[in-house]
């Protein structure tokens, strides 16, 4: 049980965009499924939560972002600026995610020692929180940058689209039902 708890506590950093680190830019793990992400077989909402603008979802420049921008009637100049913001944020968040791997590895080592050192675990937790804060700040900065590019009316429309999208995610989750227990046997 402690190992499962530790493993759950250690998986703390989300990918900055929907692709494997070794995949070429623009490639998606979802293979045409838009921004749907899976984590150990379970749906995972995009990083940043449902209230953030799509750039904070970690959307890379690509079809989903293009569709969102088309729906709010973004101009070509706005699209170009937002793609640049998304690309820069994605690059920064990817680097932060990669540095998070070392933190996860450190956490595993701390929890698998014969004696768990509480002060070392607390120091690790503080470093993990600091990294999350840095990622959150970067997503917020990208969102603010995008908000400066869009008109107030476009931001309102984008917020409506985000709410609709969240409602679809929640409806799918209800239809899917609760996730199976980790040790439940699959037939």
3-class SS at 128? helix
Low-confidence residues in the chain, pLDDT < 50:
1-52, 56-58
Place of tokens 């937790």: 125
DSSP 60: P
Q: What is the pLDDT of residue 182?
A: 67
CA distance 14 to 104: 12
**Which ranges of the chain does DSSP label H, i.e. alpha helix?**
2-10, 63-71, 76-112, 118-149, 152-176
Within 13 Å of residue 117, how many CA atoms lie on the same side as its CB? 10
């Amino acid at each position: 049980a402690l190992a499962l708890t530790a493993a759950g506590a250690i998986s703390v950093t989300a990918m900055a965009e929907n692709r494997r680190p070794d995949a070429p830019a623009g490639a998606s793990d979802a293979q045409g499924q838009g921004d749907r992400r899976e984590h150990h077989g379970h749906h995972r909402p995009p990083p940043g939560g449902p209230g953030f603008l799509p750039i904070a979802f970690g959307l890379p420049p690509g079809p989903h972002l293009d569709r969102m921008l088309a729906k709010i009637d973004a101009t070509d100049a706005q699209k170009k600026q937002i793609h640049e913001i998304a690309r820069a944020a994605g690059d920064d968040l990817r680097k932060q995610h990669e540095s998070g791997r070392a933190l996860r590895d450190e956490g595993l080592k701390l929890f698998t020692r014969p004696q768990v050192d509480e002060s070392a675990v607390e120091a690790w937790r503080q470093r993990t929180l600091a990294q999350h804060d840095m990622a959150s700040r970067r997503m917020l900065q990208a969102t603010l940058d995008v908000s400066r590019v869009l008109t107030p009316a476009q931001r309102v429309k984008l917020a409506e689209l985000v709410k609709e999208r969240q409602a679809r995610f929640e409806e799918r989750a209800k239809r899917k039902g609760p996730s199976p227990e980790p040790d439940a046997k699959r037939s």
